[in-house]
Amino acid sequence: MSSGSVQTIEELIRERLEEVKENVNDALGKSGRGPDEARILIASKYYSPEQMASLEKAGVNLLGENKAEDLVSKQERFGDAFEWHFIGHVQRRKAKEIVTRVALIHSIDSVRLIEELAKRAPEGGVEVLLQVNVSGEESKYGVKEGEVEPLLEAAARTGRVRVRGLMTLAPMVEEPEDVRYVFAKMRSIHDRLRGSWGPHFDLSELSMGMSSDYRVAVEEGATIVRIGRAMIEKTGEARS
């Protein structure tokens, strides 16, 4: 492509996605894991329906939505073109809209929410991640380390809510190394619980890391990273 040409949105997304894949694979190599042991989830809140068509063409296959109403409208348009996850805070009154539409809910942090999901879940149940507030930030959702097992117990009682693993959000910092401790602690919690709860739940997933710190998160064991801003920084310069 000539230096004076303007990329299409599809071309830009494809280019950025390849950059993220390369960085993830490099981090996996540093941590001694294989090239397929971490998945890239693209945060779809940054994209209009028209741009989401470009996501599909560029090879994106895993999307995370933050709002129930946006999940409904986008999924009705794009259906099974993507694997859909819900990554926003779940309001109990919105649970019915979410449970039948997603493969995984990333943000479960209360017994009441687990019980509500169990009521609304389809016959096959619903798969979730438990959100842990490792950093202790008051502005973030999630439970403390000591409150995770009561959530696992509550999910086990329902027989319909299956816990696939854990999720955490690190503080926003300029230097990713400054939050490595968050990811390392999350991995330690995950490994401990997986050892004791393995017979009941899979607990194979560890969702952590976003655009600014996903490399460090993968080095510390992340199996899913959320990418938003890293994909859209120059979208405004692209032609549709």
Q: Please give the pLDDT value at position 229.
A: 81
* Count of the separate structural domains present in the chain: 1
- Tell me, what CATH number does 227's domain have? 3.20.20.10
Residue 76 included in any domain: yes
Q: Could you tell me the residue range of the domain that residue 225 belongs to?
A: 9-237
Residue 3 included in any domain: no
Residue 1 included in any domain: no
Residue 2 included in any domain: no
pLDDT digits (tens, 9 = 90+) for 79-137: 999 999 999 999 999 999 999 999 999 999 999 999 999 999 999 999 999 999 999 88
Q: Please give the pLDDT value at position 5.
A: 62
- What global pTM score does this model have? 0.92
pLDDT digits (tens, 9 = 90+) for 190-239: 999 999 998 899 999 999 999 999 999 999 999 999 999 888 665 444 45
Q: Please give the pLDDT value at position 237.
A: 47
> Would you state the structure tokens that stand for residue 53, as one six-digit string?
């068509």
Could you write out the three-class secondary structure of 23-59? HHHHHHHHCCCCCCCCEEEEEHHHCCHHHHHHHHHCC
Residue 53 gets the label, from left (phi > 0), alpha (psi -120 to 50) or beta, of alpha
Residue 84 included in any domain: yes
Q: Percent of the chain beyond pLDDT 70?
A: 94
Residue 4 included in any domain: no
Q: Looking at per-residue confidence, does 2 or 201 come out higher?
A: 201
Rounded to an integer, the average pLDDT of 13-32 is 95
Residue 217 included in any domain: yes
Distance separating alpha carbons of residues 109 and 151, to the nearest angstrom: 8
